[in-house]
Structure formats: structure tokens, C-alpha cells
């Protein structure tokens, strides 16, 4: 009996080693929670979400690296002393991408009073115990700034949040989205991008794409400029129905749509020629990107308010270069004026 037990233990250990090896090959780095912990909680949604964000990070990084073979992602793992940590993958100064970052973070601990206040202002009734609110937040987020002004900038983010209230009940919700910020308008690209996201949404409910497309146009609005940051996509936050499993499956479909909605656009334009004037316009548009991220973006604000958060990862979304010119106005009926028109008046790209 003892011999059999030992043999089973050895087999189980070697199976674990195989599984560990396979997971390491699949990801850019070992998961934040550790493979043993993930295996222990494998049926929990938190675990499945962590595996999904790790997979998404690896998928996107590999797809981008394949288009920019001279460049490599620096993989940077970090720990947060208050609990959790993350993996930042950043490619800089490639041939195709000036800066591309894909971050994963899994953090837990107690919500700061400032972060809790921000959530309550969005209608969350959070009952703290002795002033403390245990939370767990995880997500994958990415911003890709290409060199060529004919390749749009792309951003995506998918996240899960869980809070334990004073009486032990858990509140949970998902948020996320994928959006495109072109320097110049290309209708074919815009239609492809929106159609791919619509297909991902339609698998779950036909009402989701129009609702989240509008939410995206409203959210990425630079109020002081009266224009959107880009041509949108989808955006949602605080989603906690119909059920945890159904929302998770929807988020998974959206995450799996990132590569097919963007990579074909990069391939289409990576050899386009461009003029110094077009490059200048790209720099000015990037200035607007920075303005939105620093003034309005909820994720940036939340990150900056969370104790022990990693500033380098939060500000990874900013481009390497941008420009602010005094009173710059493009000539009427120019290609530059064309994109501004769409940013001021969002279009329906799929009907």
C-alpha cells in the first residue's frame, strides 16, 4: 500500500511539473498568485480571471513582437508590499512600435479612503468594518503607440473587482473595453475594428454593442477640447449582471477579440510612407491622448490613489513623444480636419 501511495505521489508531482512547465510557456512570466495557489483555487472565478488576463497578455505581446522582429519586450515583474503585484511587458523604440505596453496586475489589501470615496461617488454602497474594506482587483491593460502615423494607437483593458463588506458579503463587478485612436481617418479600418468588437458582443446579447459603443464615445470625451480621444470601440464598467459566469464569458470574448480587431490594421499600414507634416500631426494628436489620460481617465486616477501602486505601470499608457503647439488649427477640408470632424461627431461604423 505504501509503495502504491508513493508511486501515486510521484506521478502527481510529475503531472504538476508538466502543468507548471506548460503554463510557463503559455505566459510571459509566472502568474502573480503563483501556480500552486491558482491550482488550489482553480474553480474560483478569481483564478479563471487571472489565467485569462495572463493569456491575453501573452497573446497580444506575441502578436506585436511578430510584426516588429527587431524589437523585444522587456518583462518586468513587480511586487506590492501591501499585497499582490504585476507583470509589465514593454517594447520601446521598435521599427513598427514606438512604445507598446501590456500590463497585468493582481492586487489585494484594503481600499484607501480616497479610492473608496471615488467608488461611492459612482453609486457603490460600501459598508466598511473598522474603516477597512478588503478588496481584490485584477486586470490586463495595454496601450500601443506605433511610429507610423497611418497606424492607429490602440488601447484595451479588462478588469475584475471584488470587495468584502463589514457583514462578509462580497460585491463584485467587471469593467473594460477596447478603443482605437487613429491620427488619420481610414474608414475601412474603422469598420473592421468596430465589426470585430460587435461580433464579440453579439455572441452574448445584441443589445451590448450599441450600449457599450455609446458608453465608449461618452467616456473618452476630452471635455475641455469638445472632442473624443479617438473613434471609440466599446467601454463598460461596474457590470455585475446577469450572473458572474455570464459576465466572465462576455469579458473573455472581448479579450479574445483584441488581436483580430487590431493586428490586421497594423499589417495593412506598417509599410505606408508618411511625410514630416503627417508625423507632426500624430505628435499633436498624442498630446490630446496625454490630456485625456492625466485629466479624466478613471484607471489612472484609481491607480494614483491606491497606496503602493506602481507609478511606472500606471503611466505606461503615455507615449514616448508628444507635442503641444499653441493655437494649432488644421486647414479646412484637409485630412487633419476630417478626423477632427469624426472626433466631434461620433459615427455609427457598422450599419
219 domain residue, yes or no: yes
* pLDDT value at residue 9: 65
Residue with the bigger pLDDT between 283 and 34: it is: 283
| Structure confidence at residue 1 as a pLDDT band (50, 70, 90) | low
Give the integer Cα–Cα distance in Å for 264 and 299: 28
| Structure confidence at residue 246 as a pLDDT band (50, 70, 90) | very high
Q: What is the pLDDT of residues 49-67, one digit of tens each?
A: 999 999 999 999 999 999 9
349 domain residue, yes or no: no
Residue with the bigger pLDDT between 168 and 293: it is: 293
Beta-carbon count within 10 A of 143 CB: 21
313 domain residue, yes or no: yes
User: How large a percentage of the chain has pLDDT more than 90?
Assistant: 72
DSSP states along 73-138: -EEEEEE-TTSEEEEEEEEES-SSEEEEEEEEEEEEEE--HHHHHHHHTTT-----BTTB-EEEEE
Indicate which CATH number applies to the domain containing 110. 3.40.1500.10
18 domain residue, yes or no: no
Q: Which domain holds residue 327?
A: 27-344
14 domain residue, yes or no: no
Residues belonging to the chain = 351
10 domain residue, yes or no: no
Mean pLDDT computed over 270-293:
97
208 domain residue, yes or no: yes
Q: What is the pTM of this model?
A: 0.91
Task: Please state the domain count of the chain.
Answer: 1
Active centre residues (catalytic):
155
Mean pLDDT of the chain: 91
Residue with the bigger pLDDT between 117 and 285: it is: 285
| Structure confidence at residue 13 as a pLDDT band (50, 70, 90) | low
At CA 36, angle to CA 34 and CA 37, rounded to 5?
Answer: 70
Residue 98 has pLDDT above 90, yes or no: yes
Mean pLDDT computed over 255-279:
98
* pLDDT value at residue 130: 67
Q: What is the pLDDT of residues 163-214, one digit of tens each?
A: 887 787 888 999 999 999 999 999 999 999 999 999 999 999 999 999 999 9
177 domain residue, yes or no: yes
* pLDDT value at residue 107: 92
Residue with the bigger pLDDT between 303 and 341: it is: 341
| Structure confidence at residue 5 as a pLDDT band (50, 70, 90) | confident
Amino acid at each position: 500500500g505504501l509503495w502504491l501511495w508513493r508511486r501515486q505521489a510521484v506521478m502527481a508531482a510529475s503531472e504538476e511539473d508538466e502543468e507548471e512547465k506548460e503554463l510557463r510557456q503559455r505566459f510571459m512570466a509566472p502568474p502573480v498568485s503563483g501556480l500552486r495557489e491558482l491550482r488550489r483555487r482553480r474553480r474560483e472565478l478569481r483564478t479563471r480571471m487571472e489565467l485569462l488576463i495572463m493569456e491575453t497578455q501573452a497573446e497580444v505581446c506575441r502578436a506585436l513582437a511578430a510584426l516588429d522582429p527587431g524589437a523585444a519586450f522587456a518583462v518586468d515583474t513587480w511586487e506590492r508590499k501591501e499585497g499582490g503585484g504585476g507583470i509589465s511587458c514593454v517594447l520601446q523604440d521598435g521599427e513598427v512600435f514606438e512604445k507598446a505596453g501590456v500590463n497585468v496586475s493582481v492586487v489585494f489589501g484594503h481600499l484607501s479612503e480616497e479610492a473608496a470615496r471615488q467608488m461611492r461617488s459612482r453609486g457603490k454602497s460600501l459598508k466598511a468594518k473598522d474603516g477597512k474594506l478588503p478588496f481584490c482587483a485584477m486586470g490586463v491593460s495595454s496601450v500601443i503607440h506605433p511610429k507610423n502615423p497611418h497606424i492607429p494607437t490602440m488601447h484595451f483593458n479588462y478588469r475584475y473587482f471584488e470587495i468584502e463588506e463589514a457583514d462578509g458579503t462580497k460585491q463584485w463587478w467587471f469593467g473594460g473595453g477596447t478603443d482605437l485612436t487613429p491620427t488619420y481617418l481610414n474608414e475601412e479600418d474603422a469598420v473592421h475594428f468596430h465589426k470585430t468588437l460587435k461580433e464579440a458582443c453579439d455572441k452574448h446579447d445584441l443589445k451590448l454593442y450599441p450600449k457599450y459603443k455609446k458608453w465608449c464615445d461618452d467616456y473618452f470625451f476630452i471635455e475641455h477640447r469638445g472632442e473624443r480621444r479617438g473613434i471609440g470601440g466599446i467601454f463598460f464598467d461596474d457590470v455585475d449582471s446577469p450572473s458572474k459566469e455570464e459576465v466572465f464569458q462576455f469579458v473573455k470574448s472581448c479579450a479574445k477579440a483584441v488581436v483580430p480587431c487590431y493586428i490586421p490594421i497594423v499589417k495593412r499600414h506598417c509599410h505606408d510612407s508618411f511625410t514630416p507634416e503627417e508625423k507632426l500631426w500624430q505628435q499633436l494628436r498624442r498630446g490630446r491622448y496625454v490630456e485625456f489620460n492625466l485629466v479624466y481617465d478613471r484607471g489612472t486616477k484609481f491607480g494614483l490613489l491606491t497606496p503602493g501602486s506602481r507609478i511606472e505601470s500606471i503611466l505606461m499608457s503615455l507615449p514616448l513623444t508628444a507635442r503641444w503647439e499653441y493655437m494649432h488649427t488644421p486647414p479646412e477640408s484637409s485630412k487633419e480636419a476630417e478626423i477632427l470632424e469624426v472626433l466631434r461627431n461620433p459615427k455609427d461604423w457598422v450599419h
